[in-house]
Amino acid sequence: MIIKKLAYPTLSILLLSGFVSGTQANPIESYAESRNSSQEELILSGRAQPYQEVIVSTAMEGTFKGIYKEIGAYVVAGEKLAELDEGNLAELVQRAKDQVKMVEAQGNLTAMEQQIALNQTLAGINYSAVSMKIAPPIAPTRPEMPGYSELEATQKALKDAELILDNKNKELDEAMELFEEGILSQKEFDTMTVAKARAEQNVASSQEKVAREMEKIELLKEYEKEKAEYEKEKANYDQQMKGSLQETQVSAEDTLRLQKQSAAVTDKMKQIAIINAKSELEAVKNQYDKLPIVAPVNGFITELNGRIGEMVSPGETLFLITNLDQLYITINVPEAIVNKWKKGQTVSVNFPTQGIEKNGKVVYVGLMPNRGENTYPVKIIVENKDHNIRGGMRAVATLKMDNETNETSESANLLENKE
């Protein structure tokens, strides 16, 4: 609905038939003009739409243990909506904790054995100074490194995740254009946004796994390098055993150095094993933390799917939360006057069926017309903290503005000629 009101006697021109219907108003209802007026009002009717609608799903498969909110309930961000049954997660957490303790104990035992070997080497060096004999060098022990074959699999998983993310980005870019044109619904757009976020998480997780596998392999290469150096030094040591006390002493010291290097590499391997065990523990704990399903935003529950005891899957819509703390008023503005509406303008918004009037702000003026029409979408945001206004209610927006030129008269003539 568009009405231009002026303080002086006016000439009314009916632009479109049917002023206001009970369900949907015409974009233009009436127009009035006075050449001597200093102010005009542009009045359009539209419908209230929720500020946002958020799909709530779970990131893991499970069974509903409890549902704590019903349809129509108002919830705040962080409030628990439901909870999944823990199953055997508690047992898995305990196993992961035991694994961390075992790895730490094995690492400490290896460090103790290496220290004993170092002490023996030192004793041999001291003895060789007297007897011209030294204990033979102890070869470094290759640390256990399970899981090398996982590198190829993790790299493939990363490539697959990056490909999926690239597709999701393209789909979201296309969806953004459709959403701005009003073709795609808020719910559909939010679903695609959630899918993109999930794809980004998969890429990040795959990158971390590849990095861990590469780190283990690099440590193994370092160990092999140290081992090769040890073999070289060992050969030299055997040669020097046939020489003088000084040569024997040097070889013994080289052995000691190599043993220290081997101990350092083994210590790094132990730290990697501990990190991996703790990572597994954190992964299981992370699953445990995902059992509660909480509200991501404030709003009313307008959709609830599932019952206690039912199985749910990742990505499945469990709750739909509609945020009515703010409302979008969407109006369709005719081509002839669309440039009178600017982002940031203050607009008076009346809800006639409720007898409520609020101030709103223009937050979006369409750059492309509505499909098949000569009107452009304009969105106005209105505060609704008391929730007196519900989604879909009829709204009448009034924009007051000064007449700076005869542009108003020219616009009226254009509209009249068009009709």
Q: What is the pLDDT along the chain (419 residues), one digit of tens a residue?
A: 343 333 322 222 222 222 333 333 344 443 333 334 455 788 899 999 998 889 998 877 888 888 888 998 999 999 998 888 776 666 666 676 777 777 777 777 777 777 787 777 776 666 555 555 555 556 666 666 555 557 778 888 888 888 988 888 888 888 888 888 888 888 888 888 888 888 888 888 888 888 877 877 777 788 788 888 888 877 777 776 666 555 556 666 777 777 777 777 777 777 777 787 677 767 666 766 777 889 999 999 999 998 888 888 888 889 999 999 999 999 999 999 999 999 999 999 999 999 999 999 999 999 999 999 999 999 999 999 999 999 999 999 999 876 554 444 344 344 434 43
**Of the residues 227, 247, 269, which one is the last residue of a structural domain?**
269
Please tell me whether residues 39 and 119 are part of one structural domain.
no
Task: Find out whether 35 and 11 touch, Cβ atoms under 8 Å.
Answer: no
Q: Is 210 among the domain residues? A: yes
CATH number, position 30: 2.40.30.170
Please tell me whether residues 35 and 151 are part of one structural domain.
no
Structure tokens of 68?
A: 């704590």
Structure tokens of 74?
A: 């108002």
- What span, in angstroms and rounded, lies between the C-alpha atoms of 283 and 277? 10
Please tell me whether residues 40 and 106 are part of one structural domain.
no
Q: Is 115 among the domain residues? A: yes
* pTM summary value: 0.45
Please tell me whether residues 29 and 97 are part of one structural domain.
no
Q: Is 260 among the domain residues? A: yes
Please tell me whether residues 248 and 358 are part of one structural domain.
no
Strand ranges, E, within 252-355: 292-294, 299-304, 311-312, 319-334, 346-351
Please tell me whether residues 224 and 116 are part of one structural domain.
yes
Q: Is 84 among the domain residues? A: no
Structure tokens of 321?
A: 């939360």
Neighbouring CB atoms inside 10 A of 328's CB total 21
pLDDT digits (tens, 9 = 90+) for 114-149: 778 777 777 666 655 555 555 555 666 666 655 555
Amino acid making up residue 262? S
Q: Is 403 among the domain residues? A: yes
Nearest CA to 81 among 272, 318, 285, 261? 318
Angle at 411 between CA 410 and CA 413, to 5 degrees: 65
Please tell me whether residues 103 and 44 are part of one structural domain.
no
- What span, in angstroms and rounded, lies between the C-alpha atoms of 96 and 277? 7
Please tell me whether residues 152 and 228 are part of one structural domain.
yes
Domain that holds residue 208: 89-269
Structure tokens of 235?
A: 């050969």
* 403 SS3 class: coil
**Of the residues 246, 269, 292, which one is the last residue of a structural domain?**
269
Residues in the chain: 419
**Of the residues 221, 250, 269, which one is the last residue of a structural domain?**
269
Please tell me whether residues 40 and 174 are part of one structural domain.
no
- What span, in angstroms and rounded, lies between the C-alpha atoms of 151 and 176? 37
Please tell me whether residues 235 and 331 are part of one structural domain.
no
Please tell me whether residues 249 and 332 are part of one structural domain.
no
* DSSP secondary structure of 50-94: EEEEEEE--SS-EEEEEE---TT-EE-TT-EEEEE--TTHHHHHH
> 159: part of which helix (H) or strand (E)?
helix 150-180
Q: Is 308 among the domain residues? A: no
Q: Is 250 among the domain residues? A: yes
Q: Is 406 among the domain residues? A: yes
Please tell me whether residues 332 and 219 are part of one structural domain.
no
Task: Provide the domain count of the chain.
Answer: 2
